[in-house]
């Protein structure tokens, strides 16, 4: 029979202080959020938030649920639920930080503070608890929750994308990140318009800024070819048009001027970037 050890009164008191402090902080953040403000003004907070399946307010509420639940189980001496809850929160936070570090390559300061609170509240309790099914199930639930609440950058973009030509068959593996003011993006769309079998899913650059940070991209258009076992990223109208021409045919097509009379120059790269005064 597995012997269970209850945390000492000192540990309980320390964890309760952590719960109280972080609950107060999250409650203040929630009030600020209702006013359109936030304790975290860093760009990384916004970027990381783009990949969460919940809004910032909902994530704050989730944090409050964790700390209030942990405090309630601790005061009520519900040992089984206490360890399950602590283990679940700790493993969920672990997934959040692993994805931020390994996939997003940046950290949200606000998330770091919340994660610190979860660690300070969960680890002291779990140290005094031998392995049990409750803690194991809590950890498994936390892992699943962590993955469920965070998205890969590409899946988040696909959820917001829309077809360039709604009346044509979908080509779900082609995602074009564009800007309405970029002539090279219109060059790609105009070329694609002449290929009856071609279609693209469109996503505005403003919605793809986190992905641009991860990949080190600065300009549009960018075409993401997402096929099973193979993913390509093409930057610039020249590379994208060459790919579309090879895949869908269309040799010898000549581009027509856009509706505003703009002729797009046939240049080597075909990238528009806010880092330079003109498209190159």
Intra-chain end-to-end CA distance of the chain, in Å: 72
pLDDT at 17: 97
For 147-200, how does the pLDDT look when each residue is reduced to its tens digit (9 = 90+)? Answer: 888 876 677 778 788 999 999 999 989 999 999 989 999 999 999 998 989 999
User: Kindly report the CA angle at 173 between 233 and 157, in degrees rounded to 5?
Assistant: 75
206 strand-pairing partners: none
Measure the CA–CA gap between 110 and 115, rounded to whole angstroms: 9
Question: Residue 30 burial (CB < 10 Å; 0-12/13-18/19+)?
Answer: middle
Domains detected in the chain:
9-151 (1.20.1440.130), 155-273 (3.40.30.10)
The per-residue pLDDT for 277 is: 38
Lowest-confidence range among 93-102, 216-225, 259-268?
Answer: 259-268
Short-list 230, 223, 227, CA closest to 270? 223
The pLDDT value given to residue 269: 53
Interatomic CA distance for residues 199 and 16, integer angstroms: 57
Query: Is 70 exceeded by the pLDDT of residue 245?
Result: yes
> Chain-wide mean pLDDT for the chain?
82
- pTM for the full predicted model: 0.66
Check residues 67 and 265 and name the one with the higher pLDDT. 67
Band the pLDDT of 31: cuts 50, 70, 90: very high
The band of 63, judged by pLDDT with boundaries at 50, 70 and 90, is: very high
pLDDT of 244 reads 92
CA within 13 Å, CB half, 152: 4
């Amino acid at each position: 029979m597995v012997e269970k050890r209850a945390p000492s009164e000192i540990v309980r008191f320390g964890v309760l202080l952590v719960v109280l402090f972080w609950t107060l902080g999250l409650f203040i953040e929630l009030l600020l959020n209702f006013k359109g403000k936030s304790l975290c003004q860093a760009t990384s907070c916004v970027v990381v938030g783009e990949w969460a399946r919940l809004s910032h307010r909902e994530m704050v509420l989730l944090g409050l649920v964790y700390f209030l639940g942990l405090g309630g189980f601790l005061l009520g001496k519900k040992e089984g639920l206490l360890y399950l809850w602590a283990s679940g929160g700790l493993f969920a936070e672990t997934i959040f930080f692993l994805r931020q570090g390994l996939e997003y390559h940046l950290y949200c300061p606000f998330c770091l503070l919340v994660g610190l609170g979860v660690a300070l509240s969960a680890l002291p309790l779990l140290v005094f608890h031998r392995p049990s099914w409750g803690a194991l199930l809590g950890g498994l639930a936390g892992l699943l929750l962590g993955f469920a609440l965070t998205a890969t950058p590409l899946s988040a973009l696909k959820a917001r994308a829309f077809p360039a030509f709604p009346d044509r068959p979908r080509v779900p593996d082609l995602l074009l990140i564009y800007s309405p003011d970029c002539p090279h993006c219109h060059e790609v769309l105009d070329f694609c318009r002449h290929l009856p079998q071609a279609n693209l899913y469109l996503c505005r650059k403003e919605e793809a800024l986190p992905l641009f940070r991860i990949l080190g991209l600065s300009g549009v258009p960018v075409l993401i070819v997402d096929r099973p076992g193979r993913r390509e990223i093409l930057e610039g109208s020249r590379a994208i048009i060459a790919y579309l021409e090879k895949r869908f045919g269309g040799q010898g097509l000549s581009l027509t001027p856009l509706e505003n009379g703009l002729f797009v120059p046939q240049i080597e790269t075909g990238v528009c970037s806010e880092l330079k005064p003109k498209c190159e």
